[in-house]
Structure 1
Amino acid sequence: MRGNHFFILTLILCLFSVVSAIGQGSVCEDIEPFCAGSERLTFPNSNFTNTTQQTGEFGPDYACLDEQPYPSWFYLQVEDEGDLQFRISQYANEDLSGAPLDVDFVIWGPFEKGDDFCTAASLSSENIVDCSYLPDAVETMTITGASANAVYVVVITNFEENPGFISLQQISGDGSTDCSILGEGLGEDISVCGEEEYSGWYDR
């Protein structure tokens, strides 16, 4: 019988500096963990082929995002304190080739692990850290002065509503994210380049 948490931990030899993840939360209650170091985390965007959630749910303050088509919800946890800057890209193909697709984001925090991230009080204007609604396929997301173990919530939207892939990569800053949280709440396998491979399931 499957338990609530069951993970098979195996070491892998990483041949590429790309991390692939399948599946993403299109509503906050299905929020997924992520980390992003010098490797690139790549995952399918939310679109009409994989979700019926066409716009952002009611409650959060989406800051600069006048529209929130096909949102994907994530959270990250800080490992080493400091500044963190990420590149967010969205293209038609997983290798970031093909048509560029307009990508937008907003990030809230900091929170403590165990907090209820999905309340209107948590996702309020007072907790907005960064936001961009530019008509670009590549955006820069910045967290300044993050404390160790702090948690941040990110929503990334698919303005053009077309199927494609979103990638996240830390490009600068002396802070870092904690990849051990990738064992939490996974519905599919996630491989972490240079780390371990977590295979398993999680009963929500």
Structure 2
Amino acid sequence: RTLDSIDRPAIAALWPTMRGQSAVLHAGANISADADQLVDFAVMGQAFARAVLGLEKPSLGILNVGEEDQKGHEDVREAAHILRGAGLPIEFSGFVEGDDISAGTVDVVVTDGFTGNVALKTAEGAAKLVITFLRNALTRSLLGKIGGMFAAGALGALRRKLDPRASNGGVFLGLNGVVVKSHGGTDALGFASALDMAIDMVKADVIAKIVADRARLAPAPVPAAGVGAS
């Protein structure tokens, strides 16, 4: 059941980045999200990041087609305006672009479910492509095989970094209980990762944090006349 203060639940996914991990939400299949729903996602995402990533004050950005304040459609601009004056325990970074996700520019990336799901599936496909190219390069020739032997340790570290089992499962946020949806084809390690995530969320009392932060959400400051996106 959805929390009374949340209009729509969201699926959060952990994303490997150059700086460690980031949380991306919504990663579901909803076609769109209005400004209030994007703000809800931000409230839930920062609570999730504090619990699972251990961050006291996570940085957060809204996924957009550019970093400038006037870029994007009305809903993302309005959500950004609300979050700038919200008083949440976050460092709001404004808008971020698609390449900022893997760069780890922010700890939490907020977007609608359609965009988030497409971005997630695209990244998974790109990772498989890179691994396939690398495997082919290291097995095609004798020189490649010798190089692979010398690089075995580094390649093992890369494989562990990109192993989807390490961050298995999508987390449903905005419900009145902790729900982690594990990938159906995963193994014992993947299920263990999903259980660890659920335990971290229960210990950190994520649901209570979401309710409290949504309730205390401060109204955004009203911009002066003539100021703002047109």
What is the TM-score of this pair, normalised by structure 1? 0.30
Of structures 1 and 2, the larger Rg is shown by 2
Higher relative contact order (CA 8 A, sep 6+): 1
User: Would you tell me which structure has more helix in proportion to its own residues?
Assistant: 2
